[in-house]
Structure 1
Amino acid sequence: MSNPVFVLLHGAWHTARSWDKLVSELTIYGSSPPTPDWSADVELIHRIVSELVEEGRDVVIVMHSFSGMTGGTALDKLDKPLRMAKILSGGVVRLVYIVAFLVLEGLQHSPRGTRDNMVGIITFLPEDVKEMLYQDMDDQTVAELAKDLQPQSFAAFWSTTTHATWRHIPTTYVLCLKNKPNTMMAAQYLVDSTKASGPHKIDNLIKVNAGHSPFISRPEWTANMLIDEAKRSV
């Protein structure tokens, strides 16, 4: 069996460049203007992963922060057990949530029109970036990372999940201990409440002494963790 493919889904405000350090480690081993909702993101994730599994590839989905909502919704009918039952090769073999939204079906992050009745996009104030996203990095690194943050559409927070992929696919949750205390408590609550909600395949909780973005602050650790989780799944 060939090695699985990692699909990396970045969170709000970030771009694909946020994964650069992690991608470098993995290779060692071999929105603006505003959008009306997240449907385009969900469709893109589903299409990309569908193409990979149709090629017979095993896929590990890695989600950070807000992308747990889009990723968790986008993977309906792409899990490997379901495809095997249809005598099809390939499929999603594991989900890895890195302090990501692990939520139930039908969850809306914020009711439409909330956030002080504002519309359009949200941007970060420079002085808030370290506290919110990069708690365990030095100020110079944070300043450079902040340059790459992009505006985030308000409307993404108004969309509603339609699928809970973690009920069907083995799932790992990474809890970052240097994150904001309220964010860390919220993440633990998500894990506990989803487990209590009914059938699930959340089989591993990993705690790491890192801030909100360990794939940047600790890329080697993150790469090794992902490879270990992939090995358990194929």
Structure 2
Amino acid sequence: MAVCCLAILTTDFINSHWTKNIMSNPDKRPTFVLVHGAWHEPSHFQSVTALLEGAGYKVEGVSLPSVGHLDKDPGNGLEIDSAAVANALSKVINSNRDVVLVAHSYGGIPTSEAAAIVSQEQEKATDPVGRIVKLIYLAAYVPPKGASLVTESAAGQSSTNRQPTVSENGLMAITVENAIHVLYNTTPAALAEEAASKLRPIALSSFVQTTKFCGWADYGISVRYIACKQDKAMPPSLQQDFAARIEATGSASETVWLDSDHSPFLHMPEQVAELLLAAAA
């Protein structure tokens, strides 16, 4: 497996990318669609979003309905999340714009489902439409058909020290203390506390409902995996397994490792933005 380790980066690449794209043909640039993970919301990606927009790209952040929007678990958390991602993708693609699709953590599962749903719609389209030109997993789950976050975590012996609490209504919450310890263990304290304060409960069914498709593998989409060396939420060994799974299909040729916890978009947004811009080029 080809592996790239990213260490110290500057704004030079982003600035040059802005010049290249703003001064050339802005209509040909793909739109970034960002999908957050469990407990999070699009605002957690605000620093990366600002850098991508500063480089001349449009960015759409998907708000997963199973996170922070429910009074009780409807029993189909993954399905409604997948539909939300698919709807966001369809709006972009049906306007004849290409997409770089980015998923973090749990978000990799509904994103994979949505990639399949939209790819099937795309095959039926009679008018010109865009396409998903790149699918990027950032410390994310890469599920096969018929899997769930729970089954994939068990297979990879994923961390159990998050200790989420489940309410009578089937909503899972994580404490600020555990979030800082597991999700933000290399993030500066003030930034970690701010991020943890914005976390919201997620429907339990999002973790246990199984996938219907294998959207990352069955539709000819180019895939890249960005892994995190100091991740306590998703063991690096599990991320390595996901990266190997992708490469085995011939969908990707490179895995990039960041010296980070589970949430590099918080404390190293320039590095993350640079990787996303490179994938979009």
* TM-score, normalised with respect to structure 1: 0.86
Structure 2: gaps of 5 or more residues: 1-26, 57-67, 152-163
Residue of structure 2 equivalent to 1:166: 216
Corresponding residue for 1:33? 71
Alpha-carbon distance in structure 1 between the residues aligned to 2:71 and 2:234: 31
Question: In structure 2, how many angstroms separate the alpha carbons of the residues matched to 1:226 and 1:211?
Answer: 18
Change (3 A) 1:34 1:117: closer
Q: Go from structure 1 to structure 2 and tell me whether the alpha carbon gap of 1:84 and 1:207 turns closer, same or farther (over 3 Å shift).
A: farther
Match of 1:209 in 2: 259
Question: Mean alpha-carbon deviation: is it higher for 127-136 or for 168-177?
Answer: 127-136
**What do residues 8-64 of structure 1 show as CA deviations (whole Å, max 9, x unaligned)?**
000000011111111111122113323322221111111121121111101011000
CA apart distance, 1:151: 0.7
Aligned partner of 2:155 in structure 1 is: none
1:17 paired to 2:17: no
Could you tell me which residue of structure 2 aligns to residue 102 of structure 1? Answer: 142
1:33 counterpart letter in structure 2:
D
Question: What letter matches 2:268 in structure 1?
Answer: R
Are positions 1:93 and 2:133 aligned together?
A: yes
For the aligned residue pairs, the C-alpha RMSD in angstroms reads 2.6
Aligned residues: 225
Report SS of the residue matched to 1:169: coil
1:135 aligns with 2:185: yes
Distance 1:70 1:165, change over 3 A: same
Residue identity opposite 2:180 in structure 1: K
**Please, what TM-score do these two structures have when normalized by structure 2?**
0.73
Provide structure 1 residue ranges, at least 5 long, that are not aligned to the other structure: none
Q: Alpha carbons of 1:181 and 1:218: their partners in 2 closer, same or farther (altered >3 Å)?
A: same
How many Å separate the matches in 1 of 2:41 and 2:29? Answer: 26
Deviation at 1:130, TM superposition (A): 1.8
Question: CA contact under 8 A between 1:166 and 1:202: conserved in structure 2?
Answer: no
